[in-house]
Amino acid sequence: MFKEFKKFLIQGNMVDMAVGFIFGAAFSVVVKSFVENIVMPPVGMLLGKVDFAQLFVSLNGESYATMEAAKAAGAPMIKYGVFINDIISFVILGFVIFLAIKAYNKMRTQQEEEVVLPEENIILLREIRDSLAKK
């Protein structure tokens, strides 16, 4: 079993998977930054100068001017604005991954459709076979 695991590691599967995870995590950070810093400010402005990252509901019944004030007071909160940002990030990330997989599948299908031509010696052998069959 150890030899099989070692073979799995050496074949590159683990390295490919690790690179994929690292790339995915880095890409996720970029998408999150894109949503928080590019997408949400204009959306918030269109909706009446709302900063989605600051939208919350205090669960202790008291009202706080900012999320920082609620945190300082130790108030339990539902941070639904952050949740909205995360959902938008998830949708964008999912769409980009969908496009990447779609492009990958298209390239893979095109490679499979390419006709593999037989080597020249195989063509000659077939011609000899066919001519002998005619005699």
Burial class from Cβ neighbours inside 10 Å (0-12, 13-18, 19+) for residue 100 reads exposed
Task: Write the pLDDT tens digit of every residue in 16-26.
Answer: 777 778 888 88
Percent of the chain predicted with pLDDT > 90: 1
Closest of 26, 47, 42 to residue 93, by C-alpha: 26
Domain 2-134: assigned CATH number? 1.10.1200.120
pTM: 0.58
Task: Write the pLDDT tens digit of every residue in 72-108.
Answer: 988 899 898 888 888 888 888 888 888 888 888 888 7
